[in-house]
Amino acid sequence: MTDTSRSPLAPPAFPDLPAVGGVELRVARARYKDWNRCDLTFATLAEGTTVAGVLTQSKCPSPEVEWCRKALTLGQARALIVNAGNSNAFTGQRGRAAVEAIAARTAGQLGCQPSNVFVASTGVIGVPLPIDKAEAGLDAAFTAQLCDWRAAAETIGTTDTYPKGATTSAIVDGRRVTLVGIIKGSGMIAPDMATMLGFVFTDAAVEAGFLQAALAAANAPSFSCITVDGDTSTSDTVLAFATGAAGNAPLVDDDSPGADAFRAALADLCHQLAMLVVRDGEGATKLIEIAVTGAESDRSAHRVAMSIANSPLVKTAIAGGDANWGRVVMAVGKAGEPAERDRLAIRFGETQVARGGLAVEEYDEAPVAAHLAGHEVEIGVDLGLGDGRATVWACDLTHGYISINADYRS
């Protein structure tokens, strides 16, 4: 973490996270930037570990994203390397060479195929990742002491103001399986795809195809439903690794015993992780939950919710504690989705503020102002058209966001 001012929305402490059988963590200093911290994370994974992933849909992805996309087709993982301080995106052949060098060196260390090594990087765009620093960092990591989840979560962070991790468990095939995730991200966070760098580890035995299906399903209502600034990274990556150390009969499809429990646990973990990211939105002082109902479809509801969540005028109003519901009307109106002004209803928290195309007669702003004074704000919009619904999460837009981003790279 380079930023010392912790988000006011941060959880009180990093949680106690259990070990996950088959996963070993180490961190080291590659010195990608001139800073006094670890910035390379090395996770080794037991033989037989399966992997799934969801990756940015950017048309300008990093070579790491391309590498992972290709490696995911094989579904097997032995290691994860995460570089912080340099995203290596938009760096041409030199960037691709750096990823290949990292995979080759790690594969040599572990005696596996390079395609079993997954690589993710985060930081400034446009500067090739220096291979010499990466290799020196790897060598240090190979011989480092084992570390805990907190150290790994800290090491993958950049502008994050706190390390982010979560856990859950499920009973599968009569055995308790553990899931742990770590994640980083607080700016360039946007909807409609896997977002940020997030890593989920489980000791469950899960075939790669089913793990991919479960991860994609868990991604849709979690990472794809948060936004900090509507800006989509070139490097967004969420990977899930299943080591099989729990010894359950492998999950192969929805009919496998415990498949539902595993899916539910993975979805819960992804939701926890997504909330940790939006709570660390750059400059955020308020977490905003936007629930849209009554849309013509769930997809339409999602788009309306994201139009609200990404509106600078809505986000600044919430920052100012201003119950300016007219800006919510504006954001609904501009979303390009089916909407009828005179059926629209809006609430802040539990208080209905508008209904049937105008302010409610008995509207009392006092409870709304009290709701907006808190750290967690709920906006509810009912379009009155159908059964479509969606919930998304965002944060407010403050002077802090400007301060962080008007002078980040320099």
Instruction: Give CA–CA dist 323/96, Å, rounded.
Output: 49
**Residue 216 in contact with residue 255, Cβ under 8 Å?**
no
What are the two backbone dihedrals, phi and then psi, of residue 371, each rounded to the nearest 5 degrees? -60, -45
Residue 58 engages a copy of itself in binding (rule: CB under 8 A): yes
Q: Which of residues 349-378 bind a copy of itself (CB under 8 A)?
A: 354, 356-359
Q: Are strands 237-242 and 50-55 parallel, antiparallel or unpaired?
A: antiparallel
To a copy of itself, the closest distance from the beta carbon of 373 in angstroms equals 13
**315 assigned ligand-binding residue:** no
d(CA 377, CA 315): 11
| 399 lines the binding site for a copy of itself (CB under 8 A) | yes
Tell me, what amino acid is at 243?
T
Residue 275: CB minimum distance to a copy of itself, A: 21
Is the CB of 125 or the CB of 213 nearer to a copy of itself? 125
Residues assigned a catalytic role: 195
For a copy of itself, the closer of residues 18 and 312 by Cβ is 312
Q: Which of residues 89-118 bind a copy of itself (CB under 8 A)?
A: 89-95
> Any known ligand binding at 293?
no
405 is in an annotated binding site: yes
Residue placing its CB nearer to a copy of itself in the complex, 14 or 90: 90
* CB-nearer residue toward a copy of itself: 107 or 313: 313
Least distance (Å) between residue 154 CB and a copy of itself: 24
Considering beta carbons, is residue 232 or 237 the nearer one to a copy of itself? 232
Site string for a copy of itself, 312-351 (x = CB under 8 A): xx--xx-xx-x-xxxx-xxxxxxxxxxxxxx-x-------
Q: Binding site annotation covers 282?
A: yes
Q: Does 195 show up as a binding residue in the annotation?
A: yes
Q: How far apart are CA 260 and CA 255, in angstroms?
A: 9
Q: How far is the CB of 65 from a copy of itself (least distance, A)?
A: 10
The phi-psi region of residue 111 (left if phi > 0; otherwise alpha if psi is between -120 and 50; otherwise beta) is left
Q: Does 209 bind a copy of itself (CB under 8 A)?
A: no
Number of residues that bind a copy of itself (CB under 8 A): 72
Question: Which residues contact residue 8 at a Cβ distance below 8 angstroms, ignoring those fewer than 6 apart?
Answer: 284, 285, 375
Q: Show the tokens assigned to 409.
A: 């790279």
Q: Which of 276, 271, 200, 269 is nearest to 43 (CA)?
A: 200
> Please, what is the minimum distance in Å from the beta carbon of residue 52 to a copy of itself?
23
Show contacts with a copy of itself in window 215-234 (CB under 8 A).
Answer: 229-234
Cα distance from N-terminal residue to C-terminal residue, the chain: 17
Residues 179-198 that bind a copy of itself (CB under 8 A): 187-188, 190
CA dist., res. 319 & res. 316, Å (int): 5
Q: Work out how close the CB of 189 gets to a copy of itself at its nearest, in angstroms, rounded to a whole number.
A: 10
Binders of a copy of itself among 238-297, rule CB under 8 A? none
Q: Strands (DSSP E) along 125-256, which ranges?
A: 164-172, 175-184, 197-202, 226-227, 237-242
Beta bridge partners of residue 242, listed in sequence order: 50, 202
Q: Do residues 203 and 162 make contact, with C-beta atoms less than 8 angstroms apart?
A: no
Residue 338: Cβ-neighbour burial (10 angstroms; 0-12, 13-18, 19+): middle
5 is in an annotated binding site: no
**Among residues 176 and 399, whose Cβ is nearest to a copy of itself?**
399
Site string (3-42) toward a copy of itself, x via CB under 8 A: ----------------------------------------
Looking at residues 60 to 79 of the shown chain, list those that interact with a copy of itself (rule: CB under 8 A). Answer: 60-61
- Select from 156, 165, 211, 167 the least CA-distant residue to 20: 167
Binding residues for substrate: 158, 184, 195, 282, 405, 410
